[in-house]
Structure 1
């Protein structure tokens, strides 16, 4: 039987490589376990106890992984903060989560200092990767203590939803009190959905920031299962191909934006690298245009696997071969998950083919929005919950997503799903990125607005707008065609592909 778990593997195979950091430095399981022990001991010496919260805001590196495992074995909640946030936004999370300690990277020093000051975090609870005024270097945390912490129990991530509308919500589950050396069955079963077994020469490449829920889960589960983790500091299309070739990468967690940029590479660059080691390149987090998916499947074969899930739990999965039979679907529910489509008004379950709110349930697992009981209750119907996505199930039980309820455009009494329009426009060769949303209209209630980022070397002009609208008109009903098209040098996305549509909408909708 395979030996699983960071500390167990560190004891059994101390020299096995756990992490390759962005500089190319190899870190063994023994080294990673010892670093996690040091951090955990240091935090305990500060007075942190089971159920307390550690917040991190650091770039991809060994320190981020070690901090996660320190909290994991000490029974803490760990909040990995999006380092694109401003000081006030980070301060909100520090206060809302009731953070007892904060680790920040020097790249984000200004936001980190402003946040810690605004949240009133004591100087003794501030630590830095690199140098930040008023922060203690992380290297010194627990440096005078050896061995595992005295009190060990399994901690957990506390995840803040992206906050694209309103304040972000902290999602947390009750701690189990389990032994952190016992890897939960869920980890192996979850990876089994993607055909990934423990060890088996698996190598995971992490090209997205570790503050993203799924990215953090895939990276840390990979280590728990004896896989090598290759970290990228900043994602670059050709650099990812180089690392796949060099390290014989088998799996990753990706987003469609990365697919677009990979496909935009010249053909001679793409064929330069050997990607035959790939087994399961998993994508989620954002809708993938069907044409993009087809082109990736043609290049990488059926290794491209899609899933749909929520921070709050539950989900679906579909492999490449299945997707070709059910194009556009995000798959069938995980064996332990339940997916239902309920009517928005009465909450009644809808028949196959009829669109409504997507509700899900994940076994007996439960969650709550931290300090927001009303938000928890609003999201639930019985033991089901929703994150506001609209979709339908077909007769075979495959889920198709339409859009987010909050993004739905209601124009002249007709529902328009922005994702459908975006999926058409993104396939035009002169379009690099696109966002579609509704803006107020005196007669229709809302009208369709498109904001486009053009491909390199393409200039905006009236003729181009006419060309794009004509292209859309050949593929979409007239009422779905954007009434206005604007252009920006770059759309506001985080590195995981999530579009901050609120920031665009705010340009057109006066604050109330």
Structure 2
């Protein structure tokens, strides 16, 4: 554990958590939040190079890299406590420079309002059992776990996603809620088709987000879970935009819903989606004032996604933020991967892009110019990039297609990319 002692932490201090998720992990996050200390959940699989670059910008007071170090941070909390901060999750941008989404220390009124709106929307209660399916360093699964615990419920965290383990947890613990990405649903359904389907009647809330959900998968989700239990929401690390019951989706196929309570949606003349939020939901990008200024217009922010609203206020996404690749619910920004690959001495130019994949939604691919081999680049990426960011396919080209102004023509690259492998 690098930095100051846990006993010396004060409101506003930041604690980077680079350890696997667990029930104790969530306990520590809550212990910090109710004291106004800001946890920074991070992927423990980040390479040393990635860690160093991110932590240099975030300036944490304390860095935790060993799960045994969590015990000293479990300072205690109780259901009914109000978190005085939001976790500072890290997101990137088209520049490939990860930044922390920072809300600072909230006053008691703002903190209570933030907690109340989550509980009102999702109905967290003392009888809830939340099954943690996604990694807890992501904002959505951590939010659902925190909301459950603060309402007096409990969480079940089986560890890294594996269909058999999740199925066993459903049978043993009879969860009432879970957050999933579409890739999780697809793998669970495949496993259950091959083996046996568990009893799903205990679920009152199954929420999905993080990537587009194919129509057949969505309709199957609605069929197999209890009526009224399934939801989709659209949001980002920065904030939440919409929430949509599946029954609404059936009437408006393709929508991601209407503005969630307390929010107002607008789409500008360029198709950019803006979301006006209350004061307690505002944020900045830590140590990045220019990036912060570009994201806000009055009380509304954007993350660069494009869409349109129908006459009833239902939002439809037309395109995710420029160049973003969503693989298994994880956002991968090509510029960050390109920066890492461009450092290889056998690469003179490189472009990273996503191609459709039946299981993961998209998979990361790279086209490059230079004498390096795909094997060399695979080894290079393994040392510098965490697993979701590592390209699965490499193409050597004579030149990277670009516009006259030098912008990569990624769509032309996807047209010559290898076809996705058949699903097993």
Same fold (TM over 0.5): yes
Matches within 5 A, 1:94-493: 94-104=55-65, 128-130=66-68, 137-139=69-71, 141=72, 154-162=84-92, 166-178=96-108, 184-194=112-122, 196-199=123-126, 201-267=127-193, 269-271=195-197, 273-301=198-226, 302-344=228-270, 356-365=271-280, 366-407=282-323, 422=356, 426=358, 434-435=362-363, 440-441=400-401, 445=409, 447-450=411-414, 482-487=415-420
Q: Note closer, same or farther for the CA distance 1:237–1:202 as it changes in structure 2 (3 Å cut).
A: same
C-alpha contact (below 8 Å) 1:188/1:197 kept by paired residues:
no
Q: Note closer, same or farther for the CA distance 1:102–1:488 as it changes in structure 2 (3 Å cut).
A: farther
Q: Note closer, same or farther for the CA distance 1:449–1:205 as it changes in structure 2 (3 Å cut).
A: same
C-alpha contact (below 8 Å) 2:129/2:153 kept by paired residues:
yes
Q: How many pairs were matched up?
A: 353
TM-score (norm 1): 0.62
Secondary structure of the corresponding residue to residue 203 of structure 2:
coil
Residue matched to 1:79: 40
C-alpha contact (below 8 Å) 1:214/1:253 kept by paired residues:
yes
In 2, Cα distance between equivalents of 1:333 and 1:326: 15
Secondary structure of the corresponding residue to residue 274 of structure 2:
strand
Shift of 1:242: 2.2
In 2, Cα distance between equivalents of 1:402 and 1:295: 23
Question: What are the ranges of 5 or more consecutive residues in structure 2 without an aligned counterpart?
Answer: 326-352, 368-399
Residues 170-216 of structure 1: per-residue CA shift (max 9 Å, x gap): 1111312439xx9724334323323x2422x2110002111001111
Residue matched to 1:51: 12
Q: Note closer, same or farther for the CA distance 1:183–1:230 as it changes in structure 2 (3 Å cut).
A: farther
Shift of 1:222: 0.7
In 1, Cα distance between equivalents of 2:143 and 2:92: 16
Residues 282-319 of structure 1: per-residue CA shift (max 9 Å, x gap): 01122212221112112224422100112222310111
With 360-369 and 205-214 compared, the bigger mean Cα shift is at 360-369
In 2, Cα distance between equivalents of 1:155 and 1:326: 36
C-alpha contact (below 8 Å) 2:124/2:147 kept by paired residues:
no
Residues 28-67 of structure 1: per-residue CA shift (max 9 Å, x gap): xxxxxxxxxxx9xx9453x322211111111122331232
C-alpha contact (below 8 Å) 2:15/2:37 kept by paired residues:
yes
Q: Note closer, same or farther for the CA distance 1:394–1:178 as it changes in structure 2 (3 Å cut).
A: same
C-alpha contact (below 8 Å) 1:43/1:142 kept by paired residues:
no
Secondary structure of the corresponding residue to residue 96 of structure 2:
coil
C-alpha contact (below 8 Å) 1:449/1:485 kept by paired residues:
no
C-alpha contact (below 8 Å) 1:314/1:361 kept by paired residues:
no
Secondary structure of the corresponding residue to residue 135 of structure 2:
coil
Question: What are the ranges of 5 or more consecutive residues in structure 1 without an aligned counterpart?
Answer: 1-38, 105-127, 131-136, 345-355, 410-417, 451-481, 491-512
C-alpha contact (below 8 Å) 1:153/1:177 kept by paired residues:
no
C-alpha contact (below 8 Å) 1:207/1:231 kept by paired residues:
yes
Q: Note closer, same or farther for the CA distance 1:70–1:142 as it changes in structure 2 (3 Å cut).
A: closer
Secondary structure of the corresponding residue to residue 9 of structure 2:
coil
Secondary structure of the corresponding residue to residue 193 of structure 1:
helix
Shift of 1:68: 0.8
Residues 101-143 of structure 1: per-residue CA shift (max 9 Å, x gap): 1111xxxxxxxxxxxxxxxxxxxxxxx224xxxxxx554x379
Secondary structure of the corresponding residue to residue 249 of structure 1:
coil
C-alpha contact (below 8 Å) 1:307/1:317 kept by paired residues:
yes
Residues 56-107 of structure 1: per-residue CA shift (max 9 Å, x gap): 1111223312321231133211101112211121122322121111111xxx
Residues 395-451 of structure 1: per-residue CA shift (max 9 Å, x gap): 111001122231289xxxxxxxx99x84xx73xxxx66544889854799554444x
Secondary structure of the corresponding residue to residue 239 of structure 1:
helix
Q: Note closer, same or farther for the CA distance 1:146–1:90 as it changes in structure 2 (3 Å cut).
A: closer
C-alpha contact (below 8 Å) 1:208/1:215 kept by paired residues:
yes
Q: Note closer, same or farther for the CA distance 1:363–1:438 as it changes in structure 2 (3 Å cut).
A: farther
- If you compute each CA radius of gyration, which structure gives the higher value, 1 or 2? 1
C-alpha contact (below 8 Å) 2:125/2:153 kept by paired residues:
yes
Shift of 1:255: 0.5
C-alpha contact (below 8 Å) 2:278/2:299 kept by paired residues:
no
Matches within 5 A, 1:501-512: none
Q: Note closer, same or farther for the CA distance 1:391–1:153 as it changes in structure 2 (3 Å cut).
A: closer
